[in-house]
Structure 1
Amino acid sequence: MTKLFTSEHPSPQDTHIHLMGIGGIGVSAFARLLKARGYHVSGCDAQVSELTRQLEAEGIAVHIGHDASHLQATPERPAASVLVASEAVPKSHPEVQAALQAGMTVLPRMQLLAELLEASPSIGVIGTHGKTTTSSMIAVALLGAGLDPSAFVGGIVPEFGANARAGQGPFVAEVDESDRNFAALHCETAVFTNAEDDHVGGNQATYWETVEEQHAGFARFVSQARRVLYYADWHGLEGQGLDELVAGCPEQLSYGTSEGCTYRAHDVRPDPAGTSFTVMYRGNVLGKARVSLPGHHNAMNALAALAVTHLYGGEFAAASQALAAFKGPGRRWQHIGEVRGAQVIDDYAHNPTKLQAAVQAAQQTGRRVRVVFQPHRYLRTQQSWPRLADALMNADEVLVMDIASANETPIEGVHARLIVDRMQGRGHLGVRYWPERNDIVEYLRRTAEGGDIIVTMGAGDVWQLARELVGPELPQPSTPLREAR
């Protein structure tokens, strides 16, 4: 296959790359990185969004709908010679068929990421949870330390004003395991946050059939890296599981709070606004650190970022200072505003572990924790509704919305009330099923108090409720509403 970033391929100024699904969080990041390298870039998507409008404002041509004419030459650019499409797009798609008939290179999304990872020193962040935040923190820490990173992130990083950054230093990439082709990628440093059973089962084109198959994909990715930095405290990476998942890598480094970690967070001190800790490297103090996001998971994400910065020769104090000022990527513990003195937070948490971490972060603020949860996908709810319910038990109040289908066909007997019934059966007195969004907004506006923290959680359109709650003038979130590839 012809590679873009080699002397074999025509120069960027003579190359037009067209990206299908450009409104997705991943594909839009590719568009920005390719434009920064000097390529002619265009794309198409099914609908207009805030992200497609941003891309157009940056000089990237965006077409709404799909049509073979998008590949043709215009006065501004030559005819497309490369089409980038997710593996989820069938080869029978008219736009793909037109590209193949024209002799164009049709490049899978993961192949494009593979080329970017191999073109420079690279850090690939994998794991079921925390990839977006950890990738963002690594890029911000490297930038703070003066290492000028490039970045490919599944959320808008406030410091970049985008989900991508083009630099001359190491390339930091969030690598999504929902696309099975991720396992074939090569990077210099694999950062492995955790492993669980998300993106498993069902008829999604890129999902894994079993968790064992998915974990084998993690192990293959890790084995192809020069080194792995893994989270040693993760319960799924203990004993034999750890051996199987990271033992294939030539150099194994760990981070966490456990004795024996290569990079260890010592004297961890949570407070309502974040967490402070001391970073140790092989038993020696590197320095003091702080993350201004609540939750133990965010402290560990920051530890990983500081470890990577140390591995790449960055100055610790500067990286630590940059992380202390970091407020998180879009839809990851995003502060939306206030209503009647209550803080309103929006978070992408949608599976049990993420819900539990978000509830713990909310508890760390010392406020009354009020959660609005929107389950995501019927299959995911069918697989995990008991664990979803259990993960929400420590919230003071939980308002459960209807399931966001994400275009899935409803499954008989799978309903948001399953979560409510289990929580009530376990003795939770503050959980209710709320089918009407407007009723939730009215109720919270009427009952919000200064000591509350209201957190909207889910991967669907629950973000809208948070913004309606504090005022209609707020912009859309900085990540797309769907789980975009």
Structure 2
Amino acid sequence: MNYHLMAVCGIGVSGLARLLKAQGHQVSGCDAKVNEMGQQLISEGIEVWEKHNPDHISEDLTALILSTAIKDSEPEVVKARELGIPVLRRIQVLDEIMQGAPASIGIAGTHGKTTTTSLTAVAMMGAGLDPSAFVGSVLPDFEGSNVRLGSGPFVAEIDESDPQFQHLKVSIAVMTNLEDDHVSPDGQASENYYASVESLHAAFREYVQNAQKLIYCADWEGLDAFTANHPDRVSYGIGRGDYQAFNIESTDQSQSFDLLVRGEYRGRVFLTLLGNHNVLNSLAALSVVGELGGDMAGAITALAQFRGAGRRWQEIGRRSGALIVDDYAHNPTKVQAALQAARQTGRRVRVIFQPHRYKRTQLSWERYATILTAADEVILLDIYGASETPIEGVHSGLIQSRMTELGFAAVFYAQNFDEAIRLALSSLQENDLLLTLGAGDVTRIAVRLLE
């Protein structure tokens, strides 16, 4: 079969391209700009064109596959429909691939999806389940890819920003948590945003009810009640649930805990990831292994060797003893979790934060301000708008002013990356943790801090 994918250089569509090629199909793609991901796809034998063009559409295509950002009015889409070529959204294709596996596991929730999916895939590998996997980040355990093709169950990260996720029917749905991210402040549904909290909750509720089995976090307030109507539920938590973590111990670089499964001790789990949120993420992974009947001892061993996911507490390097870490945290709860992990290191915590999207910042700037006071120093960048139009009066200065009002003096605004780097290096100490936070291009600063 022959597939063409639009917006192929994004993390989600690139993963589909890789999966389809691994299955033996002919695959091509295009994007407005061929970035590093696009270059990687080319090196893997996938033809990638820069810019969209209806000439990319030929009559022998099996289907045209689109990301959520591609509009129906795009010339390529129009031509495909004129030729009678099926036009499919990314999540529809992912669903078809998952349904072809012996079992399907969907990892959903507001926070922790990428890390939990990564941990689950690695745990399943260690448990002898030979999974296929689709993750929203590149993994060293997948040899720098974001997908893996195996003969066993298929585990995939499910992004709620695409409303079509609610129609998936998976064997096991994992729900890590639920907050009001991706809800529009103006009450209008749009790309990446639901019109209301109610519509977001309705989508999650349908996703959960469509699953044969549900695994959910018992520690997340309200999630037990939210999922109460599911007939086959399994829970996990710190000191609660069917899969429990006890006796948590941590150092500045690792943590460990005892695993109890329905009251039975199953071993000591060692993680290279910090923070209680990663204890919960690993419990979700081990819950999946347990419910699939995998080798739990093998899964525990694999988690101890987990090498992390790209931009998820990713250690970039050290400069004069200072540790430089990059993290994708881009909403208040994720930022709070990253700071909790940072505090476990015992270092002076210095954050370079780039707010992500204007609508999200409009809703959350006060929470950001409060949460960021847990750092020792904060350098604020301008908002990374992604595809959004700026909103008048919404800017990083709101966060800075509020932090100052709260009595936090060590907050600075940087007009550009060069200024942020100058500020970060001007008072560098051996015991510093320099933490870049955000879902935009702030990751480039982390690398430049080593130069």
Query: Where on the TM-score scale, by shorter chain, does this alignment land: which range?
Result: over 0.9
Q: Is the 8 A contact 1:224 1:249 kept in 2?
A: no
Distance in 2 separating the partners of 1:209 and 1:438: 38
| Pair 1:32 & 2:45 matched | no
3-state SS of the aligned residue for 2:159? coil
3-state SS of the aligned residue for 2:141? coil
Instruction: Kindly report which structure 2 residues correspond to 1:36-75, keeping only aligned pairs within 5 A, or say none.
Output: 36-72=22-58
Instruction: Kindly report which structure 2 residues correspond to 1:306-345, keeping only aligned pairs within 5 A, or say none.
Output: 306-345=286-325
Aligned to 2:243, which of 263, 271, 275?
Answer: 263
> 27-36 vs 264-273, which deviates more?
264-273
Q: Is the 8 A contact 2:329 2:338 kept in 1?
A: yes
Q: Is the 8 A contact 2:7 2:70 kept in 1?
A: no
Q: Is the 8 A contact 1:196 1:236 kept in 2?
A: no
Distance in 2 separating the partners of 1:189 and 1:331: 26
Distance in 2 separating the partners of 1:258 and 1:180: 34
| Paired position in structure 2 for 1:294 | 274
> 170-179 vs 102-111, which deviates more?
102-111
| Pair 1:162 & 2:142 matched | no
Distance in 1 separating the partners of 2:387 and 2:238: 41
| Paired position in structure 2 for 1:98 | 79
| Pair 1:140 & 2:110 matched | no
Aligned to 1:414, which of 394, 403, 407?
Answer: 394
3-state SS of the aligned residue for 1:83? strand
Instruction: Kindly report which structure 2 residues correspond to 1:232-311, keeping only aligned pairs within 5 A, or say none.
Output: 232-237=218-223, 242-243=224-225, 245-259=226-240, 261-311=241-291
| Pair 1:460 & 2:437 matched | no
Aligned to 1:190, which of 173, 184, 190?
Answer: 173
Distance in 2 separating the partners of 1:56 and 1:84: 18
> 402-411 vs 144-153, which deviates more?
402-411
3-state SS of the aligned residue for 2:449? helix
- Which letter maps to 1:256? G
* Aligned-pair CA distance for 1:116: 1.9
Aligned to 1:221, which of 177, 185, 207?
Answer: 207
| Pair 1:18 & 2:1 matched | no
* Aligned-pair CA distance for 1:206: 4.3
- Which letter maps to 2:47? A
Distance in 2 separating the partners of 1:236 and 1:37: 41
Distance in 1 separating the partners of 2:32 and 2:61: 20
3-state SS of the aligned residue for 1:207? coil
For structure 1, the residue ranges without an aligned partner over 5 or more in a row are 1-14, 74-78, 472-485
* Structure 1 residues 182-211: Cα deviation after superposition (integer angstroms, max 9, x where no partner): 000010001100000111115632421111
* Structure 1 residues 240-296: Cα deviation after superposition (integer angstroms, max 9, x where no partner): xx33x313322000000143x110001111221121001111111111101111111
Q: Is the 8 A contact 2:9 2:35 kept in 1?
A: yes
Aligned to 1:212, which of 169, 192, 198?
Answer: 198
- Root mean square deviation of aligned Cα: 1.3
Aligned to 2:66, which of 73, 85, 89?
Answer: 85
- Which letter maps to 2:76? E
Distance in 2 separating the partners of 1:103 and 1:89: 18
3-state SS of the aligned residue for 1:399? strand
Q: Is the 8 A contact 1:232 1:258 kept in 2?
A: no
For structure 2, the residue ranges without an aligned partner over 5 or more in a row are none
Distance in 1 separating the partners of 2:415 and 2:208: 43
Q: Is the 8 A contact 2:141 2:307 kept in 1?
A: no
Q: Is the 8 A contact 1:194 1:236 kept in 2?
A: no
- Which letter maps to 2:171? E
Distance in 1 separating the partners of 2:158 and 2:176: 12
* Aligned-pair CA distance for 1:407: 3.1
* Aligned-pair CA distance for 1:380: 0.9
**Given the two structures, how large is their TM-score scaled by the length of structure 2?**
0.96
Q: Is the 8 A contact 1:190 1:227 kept in 2?
A: yes
Number of residues paired by the alignment?
A: 446
Distance in 2 separating the partners of 1:408 and 1:17: 29
Instruction: Kindly report which structure 2 residues correspond to 1:384-395, keeping only aligned pairs within 5 A, or say none.
Output: 384-395=364-375
Distance in 2 separating the partners of 1:407 and 1:112: 24
- Which letter maps to 2:62? S
3-state SS of the aligned residue for 1:470? coil
Distance in 2 separating the partners of 1:417 and 1:199: 22
* Aligned-pair CA distance for 1:103: 0.9
Q: Is the 8 A contact 1:152 1:164 kept in 2?
A: yes
Distance in 1 separating the partners of 2:449 and 2:435: 11
* Aligned-pair CA distance for 1:89: 2.1
Distance in 1 separating the partners of 2:380 and 2:231: 46
| Paired position in structure 1 for 2:355 | 375
Distance in 1 separating the partners of 2:440 and 2:100: 35
Q: Is the 8 A contact 1:43 1:63 kept in 2?
A: yes
- Which letter maps to 1:438? D
3-state SS of the aligned residue for 1:432? strand
| Paired position in structure 1 for 2:450 | 470
* Structure 1 residues 325-350: Cα deviation after superposition (integer angstroms, max 9, x where no partner): 11311000011111221000000001
3-state SS of the aligned residue for 2:404? helix
* Aligned-pair CA distance for 1:51: 0.7
